Structure 1
Amino acid sequence: MAVERNSEVAPEKHHLTETQDYKAGWSFYLVLAGVVTSLGSSLPVGFNIGVVNTPADLIKQFCNESFVSRYDIALSNTWMNVLWASIVSMFTIGGCTGSIIGSVIADKFGRKKAAILTNVLSIAGATLFLFCRAANSVEMLIIGRLLVGLSGGLTTSIVPMYVAELSPAALTGAMGVVCPMGINFGVLVGQLMGLDFILGGVDDWPYLLSGYALLVIVSLPVLCILPESPKYLFVIQRNEAAAISELSRLRGVSPSALTSELELLRKEARSETSAEHWSMMKVLREPKLRLPLLLSCSMQAGQQTSGITAVFYYSQTIFRQAGLSAQRAQYATIGSGAINVCTAALMLRLLPRAGRRPLLLASVLAASLLLATLAAALLFIDTASWMPYVSMSALLAFVLVYGLGLGPIPFFIASEMFEVAPRPAGMAWGSLANWGGNFLVGMGFPTMRNVIGPYSFLLFSAFTMGLFLFTKFYFPETRGKTPTQVAQLCSRGLRSRPLTTATAKHIL
């Protein structure tokens, strides 16, 4: 009998210990979610940004030959430029469209199914790329660019939100880096695949454009077995049983050990915002959400108006003027892309320790100063033999500091400033600002380059300094705070004083 009593008491003691000692951290499904969404959803976005420039002349030749054979029309240089601009811009148009509909899809079908949709669209686009030359169809190429752009817009508005909602509070920053790290890695992979001895040959461009699909095909089945966001199930769907089941599977512990996380979910479910449906227009009109929305959109747009794409465009010229051969200049450009990937990986460790605000402010300020330095070095590049090395150093330093704050933080910061219900719409606005900034810089930079040359980077520097001043006055530290607390700090719009000690103490 004594043995039986001990066997009954032991599980109870174990239960108490598990409940009291459990602290959510890295788990199998959380790590799997980070890897799978990075490779299957985020990587294709960066790949399609970085890959199209290498085979540009080959694709233009294909387009001209297709028009001659099908319509008996030879395209002039003017019309070829128009067609090429259309092919390139379709990606951005799709990105803007995906950003707009992302909030609706995320709420209607759930975060996981929305992420699955991004993969399906990505595979469809790759299929069109692979067979467009065999079908002699420029239209398939254009539609493919539209589909991968649509997938990209959905990815940037949904994936950071999904992985952030899967994460415990202490790891939201680290998991928030997953999406931008995947995008940066995709750009690097696209540059590498475009090398002559890999897929940069004359007949290889359809395989080059569609090569990313192999990773997506491998990732898609794994994505299907990941848990749905417990916050979505609990707060939006009001399905407490399913939320607890998925949270238990995600953390790898029994529901009895999840008391503190479930209490936080219940608090979010009881908040004022959780009972309402939040469209993008409703979020835009809500005064209490105005400052979080402005912060999120300004950071996302600020990524593009920092001129990061233009810097990479100029990199080949700068490296050549520094004395590198054409091939070595290409390798140096790839090296700068590798810096971008490495800094994103470094942020996995920095963000939980340093916080969002100091990293972002230091990154934005340094980026602004380095852009001004780059402009000055380019203006006087022929005046001294060492000046090309100044410009090269400024370029590499800019890529480094960009990756330590301005690159990754804007992608996930909306998930820490918006509560669960308005979060999809807030993320969608931020994603739209990013793609809109991408479109404006992409369309405007060639003209700026022709008209004002290196002074373009002074303009980018001014935009970036403006972002620094705005975030310095209004961006609160979100590390260690719940979205509800951050929302209260910013609830008075531009009249908010989210940085004052008294206000913070009152809220906390």
Structure 2
Amino acid sequence: MAQYFTLLLNCPVVIAAICVAGIGGTFQYGFSVSVMTSPSAFIKELVNKTCQQRYSVSLDEWQLSLIWSFTVSVFCIGGLVGSLVGASLVTKFGRKQCLLFNNFLAIIGALLMILSQTAMSFEMIMVGRLLYGINAGVGLTVQSMYLVECAPKRLRGMVGVTIATFISFGKFSGQLLGISELLGTQERWPWLLGFNGFTSLLQLSTLPFLPESPRFLLLDRGDRRACEEALRTLWGNKDHSVEVEEMLEEKAALQSVRNHSVMELIRSQALRWQILTILVTFTTLQLCGINAVYFYSFEVFRAAGIQEDQLSYTALGTGLCELFTSFACFMIIENTGKKALLFRGYMGMSAILILLTVTLYLQSKVSWMSYCSMGLIFIFIFFFSSGPAGATSPLPGELFTQSFKSAAFIIGCTLNWCGLFVVGMLFPVLVEKLDYFCFLLFLFFCGGCGLYVRFNIPEIENKTALEIAAEFQKMHCKSEESQREKGTELKLNSGKTYETKF
């Protein structure tokens, strides 16, 4: 671990790229996911007041809940649009330019949020949430591509984990700023919702000093000189001819090959296992039960005797646990490998979901069982943050060559946003119908993904996309050949005739 950390410290510009890209990228995603909890009562009050003033109508509870649900969920719609748009723009304009222009969406959204209470318009919050979603969708896609391509091959896994680290940092910041002592008050909540604009301004003022992705400059623009200059800026004034030659080998292998569409990627027989890996891991990331665990944490904390006005401070503990664990994953991933982190993470989460279901069932019968449930919640967050959260996001940039990357990110991010939307819409129904037994449904996804990773994915750490493709082919061609041999043997055996004596 020390050697990788030392190698990262020797690349200060890479560290700057991680921080600058993260604060205006996946930080926005994490912050927007968690920030709506604290001011929910104030926003609902604004909705009711607006309808009374405009239409002299007092909304029923179900009408208020419907408007509130749409205000929260419109972020996912924007995220899906941003993912679809960002993955295509990134090839045309470059990673850095997309990140720069993406900040203007968040700044406009922040202005709408800040002015919404003064203008007595909850619609401004909806539009702001939509713009935040588009910003987060573009940022999640482009930041992943930019960082993975700027990092040395030996540090690619460590740098990729920072994508999830900044999501955790954003979630924790939303929880922290939302407490009543800071911005979670009747007067200051619009500034809480508008905080994304300040982080966008920070990225907008610092990102121009960083170089463009070296791989984009060489493979998409064909500018070797600019690529070498970017490598020297990022990795130091050393000889980087080996890395350039590896990129040129990939370029030669893909000569006269254009960037492929999503449908072309899906139809590609040679990449079917890589595509299946993206489908399984990104779907499970949202359907693993992390949102259910966060939801039930308040019920568990109440049962443990924590007062209602102290719940927001206790929730900070869950956010802090996710942040620290994500940082620990950043420290160990190069020695452990993505495959091991994914497998251990999902199998650990599967075991915790079983235990959590049991303890919640016994909570009303045994007084101290709520403390066991509380401990299991933190352990579940630990397994999630130390594996799936950090190892999943960069996968499309590592499993696919340059011509397929944009399409792979479109698929991955579309699954991510659709999963988040589905969970947001269906989870309340699941809780109402199944109560805590809904964890058994999430258990199916965690266990299935863990077993898939164990038996169908090779180790991808410190390998190029071409080397990973060879590993996939080597792993699955053997199993397919073995099946064909067994089928041939079975056919031969079934064709034999045996003489029977009476």
* Superposition TM-score, scaled by structure 2 size: 0.91
Q: Structure 2 residue aligned with 1:187, among 171, 174, 193?
A: 171
Question: Which amino acid in the other structure matches residue 285 of structure 2?
Answer: Q
Does the C-alpha gap of structure 1 residues 274 and 374 become closer, same or farther in structure 2, counting only changes over 3 Å? farther
Offset at residue 120 of structure 1 (A): 2.1
**Aligned position for 1:454:** 436
Offset at residue 422 of structure 1 (A): 0.9
**Aligned position for 1:70:** 54
Task: List alignment gaps of at least 5 residues for structure 2.
Answer: 1-6, 483-502
Matches within 5 A, 1:128-139: 128-139=112-123
For residues 374 and 476 of structure 2, the distance between their equivalents in structure 1, rounded to whole angstroms, comes to 39
Question: Which amino acid in the other structure matches residue 364 of structure 1?
Answer: Y
Offset at residue 74 of structure 1 (A): 2.7
Check conservation: 1:355, 1:479, Cα contact below 8 A: yes
Check conservation: 2:8, 2:155, Cα contact below 8 A: no
For residues 492 and 443 of structure 1, the distance between their equivalents in structure 2, rounded to whole angstroms, comes to 41
Question: Which amino acid in the other structure matches residue 72 of structure 2?
Answer: V
Offset at residue 453 of structure 1 (A): 0.2
Kindly indicate whether residue 185 of structure 2 is the aligned counterpart of residue 201 of structure 1. Answer: yes
Question: Which amino acid in the other structure matches residue 422 of structure 1?
Answer: F
For residues 269 and 423 of structure 2, the distance between their equivalents in structure 1, rounded to whole angstroms, comes to 30
Matches within 5 A, 1:341-352: 341-352=323-334
For residues 452 and 364 of structure 1, the distance between their equivalents in structure 2, rounded to whole angstroms, comes to 22
Offset at residue 29 of structure 1 (A): 1.6
Offset at residue 160 of structure 1 (A): 1.1
Kindly indicate whether residue 420 of structure 2 is the aligned counterpart of residue 438 of structure 1. Answer: yes
**Aligned position for 2:374:** 392
Task: Please give the secondary structure, in 1, of the residue aligned with 2:317.
Answer: helix
Matches within 5 A, 1:270-289: 270-272=252-254, 275-289=257-271
> CA offsets, 1:401-445, max 9 Å, x none?
111101110011222111122112112211111111111111111
**Aligned position for 1:426:** 408
Offset at residue 495 of structure 1 (A): 6.0
For residues 445 and 365 of structure 2, the distance between their equivalents in structure 1, rounded to whole angstroms, comes to 28
**Aligned position for 1:485:** 467
For residues 382 and 71 of structure 2, the distance between their equivalents in structure 1, rounded to whole angstroms, comes to 31
Q: Structure 1 residue aligned with 2:313, among 319, 324, 331?
A: 331
Kindly indicate whether residue 13 of structure 2 is the aligned counterpart of residue 29 of structure 1. Answer: yes
CA-atom RMSD in angstroms: 1.9
For residues 428 and 36 of structure 1, the distance between their equivalents in structure 2, rounded to whole angstroms, comes to 23
Kindly indicate whether residue 410 of structure 2 is the aligned counterpart of residue 406 of structure 1. Answer: no
Offset at residue 272 of structure 1 (A): 3.1
Offset at residue 273 of structure 1 (A): 7.3
Matches within 5 A, 1:151-166: 151-166=135-150
For residues 138 and 288 of structure 1, the distance between their equivalents in structure 2, rounded to whole angstroms, comes to 50
**Aligned position for 1:88:** 72
Kindly indicate whether residue 211 of structure 2 is the aligned counterpart of residue 227 of structure 1. Answer: yes
**Aligned position for 2:194:** 210
**Aligned position for 1:8:** none
**Aligned position for 2:231:** 247
Q: Percent identity?
A: 30
> CA offsets, 1:251-305, max 9 Å, x none?
2316xx1111111111111123772221222212212222112212321221111
Check conservation: 1:160, 1:411, Cα contact below 8 A: yes
Offset at residue 182 of structure 1 (A): 0.6
Task: Please give the secondary structure, in 2, of the residue aligned with 1:212.
Answer: helix
Question: Which amino acid in the other structure matches residue 296 of structure 2?
Answer: Y
Matches within 5 A, 1:308-387: 308-387=290-369
Offset at residue 322 of structure 1 (A): 1.1
For residues 409 and 143 of structure 2, the distance between their equivalents in structure 1, rounded to whole angstroms, comes to 10
Kindly indicate whether residue 220 of structure 2 is the aligned counterpart of residue 236 of structure 1. Answer: yes
For residues 291 and 231 of structure 1, the distance between their equivalents in structure 2, rounded to whole angstroms, comes to 24
Q: Structure 1 residue aligned with 2:152, among 168, 179, 184?
A: 168
Check conservation: 2:113, 2:190, Cα contact below 8 A: yes
Offset at residue 493 of structure 1 (A): 10
Does the C-alpha gap of structure 1 residues 291 and 179 become closer, same or farther in structure 2, counting only changes over 3 Å? same
Give aligned pairs, total.
475
